[in-house]
Amino acid sequence: MGKAETLGLGFRLVVVLVVGCLCREAVGSGFVKYETGSGVVEGKLNVHLVAHSHDDVGWLKTVDQYYVGSNNSIQGACVENTLDSVVESLVRDPNRKFVFAEMAFFQRWWLTQSPGIQALVRKLVDAGQLEFVNGGWCMHDEATTHYIDMIDQTTLGHRAIKAQFNKTPRAGWQIDPFGHSAVQAYLLTAELGFDSVHFARIDYQDRAKRKEDKSLEVIWRGSKTFGSSSQIFANAFPVHYNPPPGFHFEVFEDVVPVQIHNENLKHHVKTNGWQPWRSCCKKI
Question: What is the per-residue pLDDT across 1-49, written as a single tens digit (0 to 9) for each?
Answer: 444 433 333 333 333 333 333 333 333 444 455 565 667 888 888 877 7
Instruction: Give the residue numbers spanning the domain of 139.
Output: 48-169
Say whether pLDDT at 259 is over 90: no
Predicted confidence at residue 284, as pLDDT, reads: 35
Q: Among 169, 184, 211, give the residue marking a domain's end.
A: 169
Residue closest to 158 by CA, chosen among 201, 112, 186, 191 = 191
Q: What pTM was computed for the model?
A: 0.75
CATH number for the domain spanning 138: value is: 3.20.110.10
Catalytic residue among 56, 84, 141, 176: 176
Q: Give the torsion through C-alpha atoms of 145, 52, 249, 89, to 10 deg.
A: -150
| E strands, 56-195, in order | 98-100, 130-132, 171-174
Provide mean pLDDT across the span 67-85.
93
Cβ atoms within 10 A of the Cβ of 33, count?
A: 10
Q: Are strands 32-34 and 45-49 parallel, antiparallel or unpaired?
A: unpaired
Query: Of 48-52, 58-62, 123-127, 140-144, where does mean pLDDT reach its minimum?
Result: 48-52
Catalytic-residue membership of 176: yes
Pairing of strands 11-15, 282-283: antiparallel
Q: Is residue 252 in a domain?
A: no
Does 74 fall in a domain?
A: yes
My answer on whether 113 and 138 are in the same domain is yes
> CA 194 to CA 168: how far, in whole Å?
9
In a domain? residue 254: no
| CA gap 227, 190 in Å, rounded | 11
* Closest by Cα among 246, 267, 260 to 23: 260
How many of the other CB atoms lie within 10 Å of CB of 192?
20
pLDDT digits (tens, 9 = 90+) for 176-213: 999 899 888 888 888 899 999 999 999 999 999 999 99
| Confidence band of 255 (pLDDT split at 50, 70, 90) | low
Write out pLDDT tens, residues 130-157.
Answer: 999 999 999 999 988 899 999 999 999 9
End position of a domain, from candidates 134, 169, 204: 169
Average pLDDT over residues 106-113: 97
Query: Is residue 260 assigned to a domain?
Result: no
- pLDDT of the residue at 33: 56
Domains held by the chain: number: 2
Considering 142, 169, 196, which residue would you say is the last residue of a domain?
169
55 and 156 co-located in one domain: yes
Cβ contacts of residue 140 below 8 Å, gap of 6+? 149, 150, 153, 154, 177
pLDDT at 202 (0 to 100) = 92
Which residues, in sequence order, are bridge partners of residue 33?
A: 25
Helix (H) or strand (E) holding 120: helix 115-126
Q: What is the distance between the alpha carbons of residues 166 and 195, in angstroms, rounded to a whole number?
A: 18
Q: Are residues 159 and 210 in the same domain?
A: no
